[in-house]
Amino acid sequence: MNVRNLYSDYFGVNHKLLELANSVELILSDYFREIDKIRDVNQLKVISAMQKNRLSDIHFNPSTGYGYGDIGREKLDNIYADVFNAEAAFVRQQIASGTHAIALSLFACLRPGDEILSVTGKPYDTLDDVIGINGKSDNGSLADYGVSYKQVEMRADGGIDIDMACKMISKDTKVAYFQKSKGYTARPALSNAAIEKAVKKLKTVKNDLIVVLDNCYGEFVETSEPVEYGVDLMAGSLIKNPGGGIATSGGYIAGRADLIEKAAYRFIAPGIGLEIGSNPVGCRHILQGLFLAPHIVAESLKGSLFCAVIMDRLNFKAEPAYNEKRYDIIQSVEFNDPENIILFCRGIQKAAAVDSYVTPEPWAMPGYDCEVIMAAGGFIQGSSIELSADAPLRPPYIAYMQGGLVYLHAKLGVLLALQEMINKGKVVL
Ligand SMILES: *Cc1c(COP(=O)(O)O)cnc(C)c1O
């Protein structure tokens, strides 16, 4: 048995496609080296933060009840703060998702009469109801509490419209909101340099502005994080990059210590924040996931690069292109054809270690204005640092692929996706 036989006999990848994959990999090595350099900085940062905080076996012990004096929880918070170079951080298994972490950050900073200004266009879909973008709804949104909302559209070239953002700041603007990742939009992800430039300018207009940033999918893609560039609070999900595919659930918030305390008050209760919260299963999984995260993010970026090059060879528009810098882990491919995005997602699903026999179907997912098809065969439900793909069924029919704990797995996913298209005569080699 060799690799070639396994690809062809077990997975059904034809020889021409394998040859194409081999030629694609030849040009990837230089790009892989760049990814490795970033990975190495982040890996050493994580190890040094764990050493500096004297992480030890006893910190993996579970706690119960109020969780007073849970030294594992404290270690975890301090290690995250050090890795991200933040004044403080709080990391909890009970933060249920990225949206939950971002919502906590916003509610921590905003009070009735305040205004939030989204500087990077419309936020990720799940934030609509948190902010109350469509007005009051009696669901406890920021709008219900009298917080108003405005947004600055991204420039046509995908950059931040800093001049417009500065003009739109009013005396009530308390929070400037940023999203680093492209999410499921057509604009590129933002570099920390671009974020810093905008933050500096905005703070010259209003120096007490609080900058909150959605960091989902952004962690460890660069050698530093947005809180090092004037961002006051950033939040993300542990079933994405920083959980390393090991954390079974959770979220984090990192940034200014006074704001972290307010976020913890919002999470537990005013006056009771960081001091309580037990971990009945301990935090080993979160710490071990953080240890692996720089490596795992690098693996997933390599998978995205493979996808970008091979799709480009086949004349599909891949964004980012393989020779562009990456600031999040999302790879999009434009198919201009509904059948192709369905085939693509089905191929990705076929590569999964879990639920590979399931056939994804488009469905009317809440929060979307059209049907969506998703491929997700993960060890952890909904984990998108594991190989996954989503595609809303609307023109120009773009599929978004991300994750892959192992480069080879993402590569296999892309090959099986293409093989699906080849089998249906949609791609001819
Ligand atoms: C995943 C994600 C979120 C939050 O999503 P959850 O499903 O709530 O974890 C927010 N913003 C962006 C850009 C994301 O990618």
DSSP string, 132-200: TTTS--SSS-TTTTT-EEEEPPPPTTSS--HHHHHHH--TTEEEEEEE-S-TTSSSPPPPHHHHHHHHH
Ligand 1 site, CB within 6 A: 97-99, 124, 126, 179, 181, 183, 214, 216-217, 237
- The answer to whether the CB of 124 falls within 8 A of the CB of 237 is no
**What's the 206 CA to ligand 1 centre distance in angstroms?**
28
Residue 185: closest CA among 23, 24, 392 = 392
Atom 14 in ligand 1: which residue has the minimum CA distance?
A: 216
Task: Reduce the DSSP state of residue 297 to 3 states and report it.
Answer: helix
Give the pair of three-digit tokens for residue 7. 């690809």
What pLDDT was estimated at residue 342? 97
Global pTM? 0.97
Averages of pLDDT over runs of 10 residues in the chain (429 residues) are: 92 97 94 98 98 98 96 97 98 97 98 98 94 93 98 96 98 98 92 98 98 98 98 98 98 98 98 94 97 98 98 97 97 96 97 97 83 95 96 94 98 98 96
What does the pLDDT read at residue 367? 62
Residue nearest to atom 13 of ligand 1 (CA): 183
The best mutation among 127, 154, 216 to test binding of ligand 1, ranked by most ligand atoms within 8 Å of the C-beta, falls on: 216
Residue 382: the pLDDT is 94
Q: For a ligand 1 pocket test, name from 126, 381, 390 the mutation site with the most ligand atoms within 8 angstroms of its C-beta.
A: 126
Task: State the pLDDT at residue 366.
Answer: 74
* Separation of alpha carbons 311 and 237, rounded Å: 29
- SS3 category, 118: strand
Quote the pLDDT of residue 194.
98
